[in-house]
Amino acid sequence: MQTDNVAAAVAVIVSDNKKVLLGRRYENNQFIGWQCPGGYLKKGEVLEQAASRICLQKAGIEVEQLRAASYSNNIFSEQLHTVTLYLKTEKFYIKNTKIFTHELTQWSWFDMKALPQPLFLPLQVLFEREM
């Protein structure tokens, strides 16, 4: 069944001393870009709950004091269109070092003025609109 609905995603801009946390994103074992911790919003889930769940699952970090940041409208193809709602925080704790230091994802800190390339499409759309 084809739908005309757009999927909602949540991503968290985790910053520390003017640096932002980014990890490598893969689809079908192919690197497609650097991204913030992010994922799909589940039905009935509050944004902050989704952000906390995603950060712990994907980056091994617990986040606090989340606040609204921005959004990106992401048209990947005729079949895939998402909207990413961004939250941000400077308060985080590494809870799972195995996930945080995973060699495939390579979570790393980057200066906002020297971001790695390529960026995952939602993050690219965000920075093009915001910068």
- The CATH code that applies to domain 7-130 is 3.90.79.10
Reported as a single tens digit per residue, the pLDDT across 22-56 is 999 999 999 999 999 999 999 999 999 999 999 99
E strands along 1-129, which residues?
Answer: 7-16, 19-27, 30-35, 38-40, 61-64, 67-75, 81-89, 91-94, 108-111
Two tokens at 98?
Answer: 């195995």
Residue 129 reports pLDDT greater than 90: no
Residue 7 reports pLDDT greater than 90: yes
Would you list the domain boundaries of the chain?
A: 7-130
Report the DSSP pairing between strands 30-35 and 61-64.
unpaired
Q: How many CA atoms lie within 13 A of 25 on its CB side?
A: 19
Q: Indicate the pLDDT class of residue 1, thresholds 50, 70 and 90.
A: very low
Closest CA to 8 of 64, 51, 52, 60: 51
> What's the distance, CA 93 to chain centroid?
17
